[in-house]
């Protein structure tokens, strides 16, 4: 655990901890810790790569980790192997035929039009239909080396992409997420202030910078827009199913290197 202030620290695991909900088997990035308690919930942590292809989206289930110290600055290097994909299965059988694929696509398109009904689909409709949503390990599409340089109150993130699978490559995402129970307030340089569900689930940020804070504003994190990228904000919470809030980057698959800064706030005890 690496201290940021008297009460705020960050932690990085070499395995898939913490094991919460749907993404229990996926690798996580930097996790915020306040007075010994992890604040990540079902979030991915800071600086987690996801790569979308025409037919599949790849996540990481394997990694290696290295840590070094230079003066007051700590550097962590985590190599994410892109070896997990999301699958939909019907009664333990992988969905492959044209009709079932069309049904899955219909659900995805319906969610995009009516995002607030996402929880119903995941937890009720799919379950009643005997459809499972899960992550499975596959042949890796590549690896991403993420270098976290921690120099409080900033974290500099540098991601280096080595993608072996080239065909159908569409988009790259770098996720920066923590737990929605701890971070309930959004604000940005356009003077937008939103709380809880009004933050949205996947909305583009138009401002130059955006922040997510605890409801009281005592601790939080901020990111800036980066040229030729889209910054998305999102938050979802449903007890035992979903618990994440974040500011995620989306950019062209032609990039082999992407860098940005995360500014952390919070050095006072909860009241």
- CB neighbours of 216 closer than 8 A, spacing ≥ 6? 270, 271
Fill in the DSSP letter of residue 21.
Answer: G
The pLDDT of residue 126 is 57
| Cα within 13 Å of Cα(241), Cβ side | 13
CA 94 to the chain's CA centroid: 26
Contact 270, 218 (CB under 8 A): yes
Q: List, in sequence order, every residue forming a beta bridge with 261; answer none if it has no partner.
A: 156
Phi first, then psi, for residue 42 (nearest 5°) are -95, 10
Q: Is 175 left (phi over 0), alpha (psi -120 to 50) or beta?
A: beta
Helix (H, G, I), strand (E, B) or coil at 104: helix
CA 161 to the chain's CA centroid: 17
Residues of the chain below pLDDT 50: 97-99, 107, 110-114, 116-121, 267-271
- Quote the CA–CA distance of 44 and 217 in Å, as a whole number: 22
pLDDT tens-digit series, residues 51-92:
999 888 899 999 999 998 877 789 999 999 999 987 766 555
DSSP of 140-201: --EEEEEEEEEETTEEEEEEEEEES--TTEEEEEEEEEE-TTT--EEEETT--EEEGGGG-S
The pLDDT of residue 121 is 46
The pLDDT of residue 104 is 52
Contact 181, 41 (CB under 8 A): yes
The pLDDT of residue 120 is 43
Fill in the DSSP letter of residue 5.
Answer: S
* Tokens describing residue 134: 């899960």
pLDDT tens-digit series, residues 129-151:
556 667 889 999 999 999 999 99
Q: How far apart are the first and last CA of the chain?
A: 24
- Quote the CA–CA distance of 34 and 166 in Å, as a whole number: 41
Contact 7, 271 (CB under 8 A): no
Taking the model in full, what pTM does it have?
Answer: 0.85
Domains delineated in the chain: 2-265 (2.70.98)
């Amino acid at each position: 655990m690496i201290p940021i202030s008297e009460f705020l620290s960050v932690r990085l695991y070499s395995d898939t901890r913490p094991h919460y909900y749907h993404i229990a088997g996926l690798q996580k990035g930097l996790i915020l810790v306040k007075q010994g308690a992890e604040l990540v919930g079902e979030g991915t942590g800071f600086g987690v790569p996801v790569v979308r292809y025409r037919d599949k989206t790849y996540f990481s289930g394997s990694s290696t980790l290295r840590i070094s110290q230079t003066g007051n600055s700590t550097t962590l290097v985590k190599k994410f192997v892109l070896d997990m994909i999301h699958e939909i299965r019907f009664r333990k059988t992988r969905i492959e035929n044209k009709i079932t694929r069309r049904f899955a696509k219909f659900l995805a398109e319906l969610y995009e039009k009516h995002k607030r009904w996402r929880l119903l689909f995941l937890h009720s409709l799919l379950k009643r239909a005997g459809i499972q949503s899960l992550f499975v390990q596959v042949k890796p599409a590549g690896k991403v080396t993420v270098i976290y340089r921690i120099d409080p109150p900033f974290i500099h993130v540098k991601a280096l992409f080595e993608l072996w699978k080239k065909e159908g490559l569409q988009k790259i995402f770098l996720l920066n997420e923590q737990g929605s129970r701890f971070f309930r307030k959004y604000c940005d340089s356009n003077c937008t202030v939103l709380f809880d569900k009004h933050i949205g689930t996947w909305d583009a940020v138009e401002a130059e910078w955006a922040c997510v804070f605890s409801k009281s504003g005592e601790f939080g994190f901020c990111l800036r827009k980066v040229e030729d990228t889209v910054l998305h904000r999102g938050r979802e919470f449903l007890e035992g199913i979903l618990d994440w809030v974040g500011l995620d980057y989306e950019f062209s698959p032609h990039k082999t290197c992407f860098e940005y800064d995360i500014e952390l706030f919070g050095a006072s005890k909860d009241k």
